[in-house]
Structure 1
Amino acid sequence: MLAPYRARKVPGSALAPQWLSDGERFWYQVGTRYVVVNPTEGSRRAAFDHDQLAAALSAASGHAATGADLPISAVEIRDDDTVRFTAFEARWTWADGICAPLDEAQPLPGEVPSPDGQWVAFPRDGNIWVRSADRTEEFALTDDAEPYFDYGGLPDTTGARALMRLLGLPPLSFFHWSPNSSRILVQRIDQRDLPELVLVESAPADGGRPVEHRTRYTMPGDKQVATMTWNVLSLAERTVTRQQDEPWPIMHNTALVYAWWTGEDEIHFLHHSRDARTLELRRLDPDTGATTTLITEVGETRVDPAVQLGDPHMVHVLKSGEIVWWSQRDGWGHLYLYSADGQSVTRITQGQWLVRSLLRVDEDRRQLWFVAGGLVAADPYLRQICRINLDGSGFTRLTDDDFDHDAMSPPEGDYIVDRASSSSRPPRSVVLDGDGQHVVELEAPGTEALEAVGWSPPERFRTTAADGKTPIYGLLWRPHDFDPDRRYPIIEHIYPGPQNFRAGPSFDPPHQGEPEAFAALGFAVVAIDGRGTAARGKAFHDHSYGDLGNAGALDDHVAAIRELGHRYPWLDTDRVGITGQSAGAYAAARALLRYPDDYHVAVATSGNHDNAVNLAMWAEHYHGDVSEDGLRAISNATLAANLTGKLLLIHGELDDNAHPYMTMRLVDALIKADKDFDLILIPGVEHALIGRQHYFLRRTWDYFVRHLHGSEPPRYRLAPLPLPGLGA
């Protein structure tokens, strides 16, 4: 039931269209099949003859391959239907029925090809270099990088450096090529004056002495934070044009994503204040570095550029200079049209619902397409596809059903790929035209393979929050071999945000596999979205602001489980466990400490148990109160004396996201309170425990079997889980 294996039983449930340069056709992969779609023709076909390619590859490489299980990766399908791919540690091309070796080096990790394919840019010693695709030319575009004052990197606090080391990859980098491949927009981040934190690798692979790993890290209220500026690098002139503004705080990687080229001559970017209460759209002149502020929005709490942290921004600059802008100024989340001079504003969308994503804008027709949440009365999380004119007229729902529509559209083109699903139905993928009419059917997977191993779909439920009036939503998984005459212990699988939400109405919400694994072990499992989480409007989201210690309204979670217990006699509310990772671990431990009569067993993995010493952005953006009392209120250590249930804490010693000292501070407080608890500190792993996930999952399962089921688990072992993006 775990996600890497579960996905194989529902092939086609995930779909990632790769649009060709014409913006009309695209291809995608389902298992080992490759499909090309031409919506204009209404066609869907195999991208190539899989059996022919396998036979030709076998002959050319000397390795056996079959069309049913092609051992290819890094696939690239071009406009002329030529296929390039990697197989048997070599690069190949397939065209006109011929498979031949390709003398083409794939970009290495950290390297970014130019749009025209003629150049590759990459970081080296903190500077930005480029080389020609044929490797005949290589040169530096910057030469003044210093340690912790370099180009193209990420802040240490959010750079996942420990994970990249574990995967044998260089630190993450990020920059933006111009559309004509002549220039690069790149950030320069200054971390020179930041305080350090040190992590110790106790058991290095070479068996030698423990190794220290240093990281620059800012905590809530610290005077110094990482700062950044934008720079434009010219390939032809080999010059650097620097942004003329003073450096400003960078609190999260989204600052790097929310910048883009508008044609060849303008750059736009979103600028957040340190406290996130001011959001600006600025234009950068790539020739001079001068900036112009086009839109400024100020709020009493965060001014978010999207519904969830990391979602694509919803800003579109038209050729006329007009700007489509998303805002929560009315308490929901709607689109507005600003004139080119910023002096007039036209409301595009309105109502007690919110725009969840902007799909595309047709400037000639003066129309835009978007995804909305809150239009379906039964469930405010269900997404629907809509169209509207830029003047606010002509609002049209292109979908009007009880399914969740996860839609995407090409940068250019007239079509939308729609994945419609529910908690019980896998996504049925189709191509829609601008009027919402089905053009091409793509995939419609079933659940037979899941059902064969005991799966049954979760129930989407609605209960009432602790305030006695606000509806809240969640998912309930029944145990395998469910018997309504039995009583089942409950496990809550929690992630309280507040930057996102946990229990969506689609077929594959985040962490879907883990709750289903608990159901396979004989537990009833719930996932709940209380007040203080995203996608329900500004007031609902801001319920957690200033009260981050309530972890997404834990009182709502308690109320929901009690209500479910009255609704279903087979739920045993006297045996309730809770588990989560990261902020979910914080919430799991806090639930056990704050509500000891309602939660009895908790497993908390990689938890940020003391947000007073967590990354600055977390408390400053989502709590707001960084006074001494405000920070004490968001530390689990202050509640240690309340422990009466069973608590297992798990952490990786090289976690550079939620550092292990946060768990150790809770450990220290528990020891001072003379409390019994369990602790697993895993050497050599980071926040996601990559490479050791099988171990922490087995220990988690056993802990709940032992302390909620009241039985001794059998002896068994789990195989290591596949690494993300790297296969088995």
Structure 2
Amino acid sequence: MSSLVERYRIARTLAFGRRDARLRHGPVQPQWSEDSRRFWYATREGQGLAHILVDVEAREKRALFDHAALARELGAQARCELDPGVLPIERLEPDAAAGDVRFEAFGARWLWHAGASRLERLGEAFAPQELRSPDGRQALSLDGPNLRLRRIGSEATLPLTTDGVDDFGWGDFSDYTMQATRAAFGPRGQPAALWSPRSDRLVVLRVDRREVGLMHLVQSVPPRGLRPALYSYRFPMAVDAPAQRERAELWILGLDGSRLRVSIDPLQSFMHRAIAHGQVRWSADGRRLYVVDGDGAGTRITLWRVDAADGRADKLIEESGPGIMRAAPTIGMRPNYQVLDDGRVIWWSQREGWGHLYLVSPDGSALPITRGPWQVRSLLHVDESARRIVFSAGGQEPGVDPYLRRVYSVAFDGSALRLLTPEAADRHLVEAAEPGSGQAPGRQSLSPDGRWLVDAFSTVGEAPVSLLRDAHEGSVHMPLESGDASEAWPRELPLPEPFCVPGLDGGLDLWGVLYKPLGFDPRQRYPVIEVIYAAPQTTIAPKDWSPGIYGSIAEQLAALGFVCVIVDAPGTPFRSHAFQLEALGRMERCGLPDRMHALRQLAASRPWMDLGRVGIVGGSGGGFATVRALGTYPDFYKVGVALCGSHDSSAYLPFWGETFQGPYEPEAYGRQDNARLAANIIGDLLLVQGEMDDNVHPATSLRLVDALIRADRDFELLLVPNAGHMLNALPYVMRRVQDFFVRKLMGVEPPNPARP
């Protein structure tokens, strides 16, 4: 049996990102040539990366370039010695026919002439803050509240706009989170804009935030000086009056100085990375824009067609109903649609209770393409000439985890539904980037012509396998990589186990993942920790080899000797529409009755789970749920750790509360104010808050602290200087979380790292 000190050491190897970094031959993420005949990818071999070129027709793999020769020549240019397996290169663009490779390194663009083993410097590299045009000749960047253009090959920049003002700038805002932390610690991001296919125009987001209230963060430990630094930024709250909300506009800007405002007024769902999430698209010929928008409460979704010549917008599709906008990207999901040449639209909808594809005509009539008690997840490719669609979905085969994505094809009329990827595993799908977004073209799982599929798949207990499939038949064309997890997974730690238990009150089955402790002995009794998020916009139980944020927390705690459980309760997506709406108007529920029901069912057949010692941990929405658990069910949940908890939606972004709790109403929002539960907290509670958290402001946690003090309740508080919202990435924070559970659930004093 490993000592507690050794368990902590093993837990550190499972920290977020560290385990994935030790996986060899992970899931292939291809970048295709324009003609779909070749693609390249990078894979970890030994301690470094190998770059592989695949000739599809020949079924051949070879090195994309001579790594040793390139390391030698690039090192000579940079006057340093480079490891061939750890080359600092980005934005690779191979000319597969000639064997030459373009890339960026050391702030410059380079061309590697493979035949002559010669390196040529082409000029300055694109800065991370620049939005690169499709033709590669121009770059757009922010200049305060305005936009500037740089012609590639020239250091000079030209103003594209000059009339932007603070809090009403051009492309200078797309997200209310991370405003202050970017200002304090890093450069600004790329403009909220999208290049046209011909690189001659841009669609740009402009947001008027001048009436939005200010929030303030004090950086107590700034990099320089002893005086704390103040950062002020605009941040609306659900409790604010409508006059205190922002106003968004879309503009089409020509490089010749022309301007045209898109006539959608008002835009209502453009406050959370809308352009990056695909709510705006250019048509292939650049003559039209397509815009997906909805209302603030998430009860309406509209697809608009915009004439790029005059800015006039026409409605193509509009749907309304509870939670309907949750199919769209207001909270991170790309819209599933494609406008066809004949004016019809392939459209994703939950109108019949499950997420499916429909063929919608200009007159509004809709014919179902897919049907049944299962869920289409993403639209991958539409072949108009063959009238065929390739998409991912879950739950189509009975008895298989419905969250596992598999790839299918279907005809426009719903016939010829075919499963292309038979393995019961989740897919590591790479979806094509929006053209004009500055991202590398061709980086996608499906070839541009839809003929081939790079199928990378895994489960929580099986390392990734990558195959090249015929995307018409599903047959395997050639193997690519098989993952090697020998360095990534501790030998004494059991692999995660997916589980399924019947839902509460006859509802849909509940699926999740169980983690047994290091050195598991079924004769022992182990304390149990639920890892929770509970915010309704996503699921968190891992389905593939990569654990994600919450799977990583569970793995680390399992290494210390806990049984950990993650379950996706009602109120979350990817099941039926009714399942998804369980949280609507009652976010305070957090699915906790269903979660306790799942834990009890698991423990009924696993006597080594000690439900007399149950803890719970989560961040953000999971921090909120942790406090709800201790305050609502203190006889079940005894110990909790809340990381940067969003403890009151009244003080958070309006779109969040309106989408999940409904329009602001004091009583409905008051029900989910965790400060009202302070007197009920009798278990052990640790609150952890980042001082520079501009997503969930520290005041949210401190209002709870104030309520706990007034209620004379014991708790612990860790305030982390210079930390933002992602506390789980900080080793010190994770050790303190682990120490708290070891003390409170195991009754053992954790090892002090300061003492040998």
Establish whether residue 514 from structure 1 lines up as the match of residue 535 from structure 2: no
What secondary structure is seen at the aligned counterpart in 1 of 2:124? coil
The aligned runs of 1:117-132 (5 Å cut-off) are: 117-132=136-151
Query: Quick check: 2:27–2:465 contact (8 Å CA) kept in 1?
Result: no
Establish whether residue 210 from structure 1 lines up as the match of residue 205 from structure 2: no
Establish whether residue 230 from structure 1 lines up as the match of residue 250 from structure 2: yes
Query: Quick check: 1:325–1:338 contact (8 Å CA) kept in 2?
Result: yes
Alpha-carbon distance change, 307 to 560 in structure 1, aligned in 2, over 3 angstroms: farther
**Displacement after TM superposition at 1:391 (Å):** 1.5
The aligned runs of 1:308-457 (5 Å cut-off) are: 309-339=331-361, 341-378=362-399, 379-407=401-429, 408-433=445-470, 434-457=472-495
Alpha-carbon distance change, 419 to 166 in structure 1, aligned in 2, over 3 angstroms: farther
Partner of 2:735: 698
Establish whether residue 541 from structure 1 lines up as the match of residue 580 from structure 2: yes
Alpha-carbon distance change, 198 to 172 in structure 1, aligned in 2, over 3 angstroms: farther
What secondary structure is seen at the aligned counterpart in 2 of 1:467? helix
**Displacement after TM superposition at 1:23 (Å):** 4.2
What secondary structure is seen at the aligned counterpart in 1 of 2:487? helix
Alignment counterpart, residue 113 of structure 1, candidates 122, 125, 132: 132
Report the residue type matching 1:713 in the other structure: P
What secondary structure is seen at the aligned counterpart in 1 of 2:668? helix
Alignment TM-score, normalising by the size of structure 2? 0.90
Alignment counterpart, residue 183 of structure 2, candidates 165, 178, 188: 165
CA distance in 2: counterparts of 1:148 and 1:420, whole angstroms: 44
CA distance in 2: counterparts of 1:448 and 1:459, whole angstroms: 18
What secondary structure is seen at the aligned counterpart in 2 of 1:420? strand
Establish whether residue 186 from structure 1 lines up as the match of residue 204 from structure 2: yes
Query: Quick check: 2:532–2:618 contact (8 Å CA) kept in 1?
Result: yes
Query: Quick check: 2:503–2:594 contact (8 Å CA) kept in 1?
Result: yes
Query: Quick check: 1:84–1:93 contact (8 Å CA) kept in 2?
Result: yes
Deviating more after overlay: 446-455 vs 571-580: 446-455
Report the residue type matching 2:558 in the other structure: A
What secondary structure is seen at the aligned counterpart in 2 of 1:104? strand
What secondary structure is seen at the aligned counterpart in 1 of 2:73? helix
Alignment counterpart, residue 673 of structure 1, candidates 708, 711, 714: 711
Alpha-carbon distance change, 136 to 510 in structure 1, aligned in 2, over 3 angstroms: closer
Alignment counterpart, residue 519 of structure 2, candidates 481, 486, 501: 481
Query: Quick check: 1:376–1:402 contact (8 Å CA) kept in 2?
Result: no
Partner of 1:34: 51
The alignment's C-alpha RMSD in Å is: 2.1
Per-residue CA deviation, residues 584-622 of structure 1 (Å, 9 max, x unaligned), is 111112111111111111111111011121111111001
What secondary structure is seen at the aligned counterpart in 1 of 2:378? strand
**Displacement after TM superposition at 1:343 (Å):** 3.9
Per-residue CA deviation, residues 677-697 of structure 1 (Å, 9 max, x unaligned), is 00011122211148x711111
Q: Which runs of 4+ in 1 moved over 6 A?
A: none
Alignment counterpart, residue 94 of structure 2, candidates 74, 77, 87: 77
CA distance in 2: counterparts of 1:410 and 1:607, whole angstroms: 42
What secondary structure is seen at the aligned counterpart in 1 of 2:742? helix
Deviating more after overlay: 120-129 vs 501-510: 501-510
Report the residue type matching 1:16 in the other structure: Q
Report the residue type matching 2:517 in the other structure: P
Alpha-carbon distance change, 572 to 45 in structure 1, aligned in 2, over 3 angstroms: same
**Displacement after TM superposition at 1:126 (Å):** 1.4
**Displacement after TM superposition at 1:452 (Å):** 4.7
Alpha-carbon distance change, 416 to 449 in structure 1, aligned in 2, over 3 angstroms: same
CA distance in 1: counterparts of 2:539 and 2:601, whole angstroms: 21
Report the residue type matching 1:273 in the other structure: D
Per-residue CA deviation, residues 284-326 of structure 1 (Å, 9 max, x unaligned), is 1111111111111111333333499422211101122221100
Q: Any stretches of 5+ residues in structure 2 without a counterpart?
A: 1-13, 430-444
What secondary structure is seen at the aligned counterpart in 2 of 1:426? strand
The aligned runs of 1:45-84 (5 Å cut-off) are: 45-79=62-96, 80-84=98-102
Partner of 1:197: 215
CA distance in 1: counterparts of 2:330 and 2:29, whole angstroms: 20
Q: Any stretches of 5+ residues in structure 1 without a counterpart?
A: 719-728
CA distance in 2: counterparts of 1:275 and 1:261, whole angstroms: 27
**Displacement after TM superposition at 1:197 (Å):** 1.3
Deviating more after overlay: 556-565 vs 538-547: 556-565
**Displacement after TM superposition at 1:14 (Å):** 3.9
Report the residue type matching 1:49 in the other structure: D
Alpha-carbon distance change, 5 to 156 in structure 1, aligned in 2, over 3 angstroms: closer
CA distance in 2: counterparts of 1:671 and 1:533, whole angstroms: 34
CA distance in 2: counterparts of 1:113 and 1:20, whole angstroms: 19
Alpha-carbon distance change, 132 to 316 in structure 1, aligned in 2, over 3 angstroms: same
Deviating more after overlay: 53-62 vs 413-422: 53-62
Per-residue CA deviation, residues 511-552 of structure 1 (Å, 9 max, x unaligned), is 23221111111111111111111111200010000111112x
Alpha-carbon distance change, 679 to 253 in structure 1, aligned in 2, over 3 angstroms: same
Query: Quick check: 2:214–2:233 contact (8 Å CA) kept in 1?
Result: yes
Report the residue type matching 1:104 in the other structure: G
Alpha-carbon distance change, 73 to 344 in structure 1, aligned in 2, over 3 angstroms: closer
CA distance in 2: counterparts of 1:23 and 1:191, whole angstroms: 45
What secondary structure is seen at the aligned counterpart in 2 of 1:109? coil
Deviating more after overlay: 247-256 vs 217-226: 247-256
CA distance in 1: counterparts of 2:754 and 2:455, whole angstroms: 40
Establish whether residue 246 from structure 1 lines up as the match of residue 260 from structure 2: no
CA distance in 1: counterparts of 2:328 and 2:246, whole angstroms: 23
Per-residue CA deviation, residues 639-684 of structure 1 (Å, 9 max, x unaligned), is 1111111100011111111111110111011111100000011122
Per-residue CA deviation, residues 368-421 of structure 1 (Å, 9 max, x unaligned), is 011111113222112221111111221112233422234332454422221221
Partner of 1:102: 121
The aligned runs of 1:457-606 (5 Å cut-off) are: 457-511=495-549, 512-551=551-590, 553-606=591-644
Report the residue type matching 1:715 in the other structure: N
Per-residue CA deviation, residues 93-143 of structure 1 (Å, 9 max, x unaligned), is 321243435242122232111111111111212122212101165322222
CA distance in 2: counterparts of 1:56 and 1:101, whole angstroms: 10
**Displacement after TM superposition at 1:147 (Å):** 1.0
Alpha-carbon distance change, 230 to 71 in structure 1, aligned in 2, over 3 angstroms: closer
Alignment TM-score, normalising by the size of structure 1? 0.94
Establish whether residue 624 from structure 1 lines up as the match of residue 662 from structure 2: yes
What secondary structure is seen at the aligned counterpart in 2 of 1:248? coil
Establish whether residue 282 from structure 1 lines up as the match of residue 304 from structure 2: yes
CA distance in 2: counterparts of 1:186 and 1:576, whole angstroms: 50
Structure with the bigger RCO (C-alpha within 8 Å, sep 6+) is 2
What secondary structure is seen at the aligned counterpart in 2 of 1:150? coil
What secondary structure is seen at the aligned counterpart in 2 of 1:499? coil
**Displacement after TM superposition at 1:436 (Å):** 1.1
Establish whether residue 19 from structure 1 lines up as the match of residue 32 from structure 2: yes
